[in-house]
Structure 1
Amino acid sequence: MKTNWKTINNRLVKEFTFKDFNESLAFINKVGEESEKINHHPKIVNVYNKVRIELWTHSNNSISELDHKLSKSIDRILE
């Protein structure tokens, strides 16, 4: 699954589609583990097999190096 991160309203945004809810939930849990490692947490929206992730740094309401770091970690989950 290869998609690109988009910049929308000062956020990195990426949408993922999985086989079913269980697969999307497993992915969300892995994203949570990566987020905890760097103490930087995304907005995650899940509807059945679809997951939307938004990354931005709340303190300055823009995209920071932490957001880029987390986006790369999220991409590696699917490799």
Structure 2
Amino acid sequence: MSTWKEENKVLLKTFTFASFEEAMQFMQKAAPFISETDHHPTWSNTYNRVEVKLTTHDAGNKVTEKDRKLAAYLDNLYKR
């Protein structure tokens, strides 16, 4: 599994799945936690990949603990 890369005040990672359906399920499973924490990623899905960009807009568009917490959550969700 790849690690998060910090670039231009953004955490970046691409998650790869066996199918489009698995990629979409990952996004759906993450949605409740994202809503609960009110910290929404910039992400996109192309076939079996989900590309994620994390930055905290209300902190001046920089990486904060909120981003690291969401990154850890997504990593743990991906491992399941």
What is the TM-score when the length of structure 2 is the normalising length? 0.91
Counting aligned pairs with the same residue, the percent is 36
Letter of the aligned partner of 1:19 in structure 2? A
What is the TM-score when the length of structure 1 is the normalising length? 0.92
Contact in 2 for aligned 1:18/1:24 (Cα 8 Å): yes
Please give the root-mean-square deviation of Cα atoms over the aligned residues, in Å: 0.9
Deviation of 1:33 (Å): 1.8
Query: Any residues of structure 2 matched to 1:7-22 within 5 Å, and which?
Result: 7-22=6-21
Q: Structure 1: 5+ residue runs without aligned partners?
A: none
Give distance in 2, aligned partners of 1:30 and 1:49: 15
Letter of the aligned partner of 1:43 in structure 2? T
Q: Hey, which of these two has a bigger chunk of helix by percent? A: 2
Deviation of 1:58 (Å): 0.8
How many residue pairs get aligned? The number is 78
Deviation of 1:34 (Å): 1.8
Structure 1 residue 62 corresponds to structure 2 residue 62 = yes
Letter of the aligned partner of 2:56 in structure 1? T
Letter of the aligned partner of 2:40 in structure 1? H
Give distance in 2, aligned partners of 1:30 and 1:44: 14
Structure 1 residue 44 corresponds to structure 2 residue 43 = yes
Runs of 4 or more, structure 1, over 6 Å off, are none
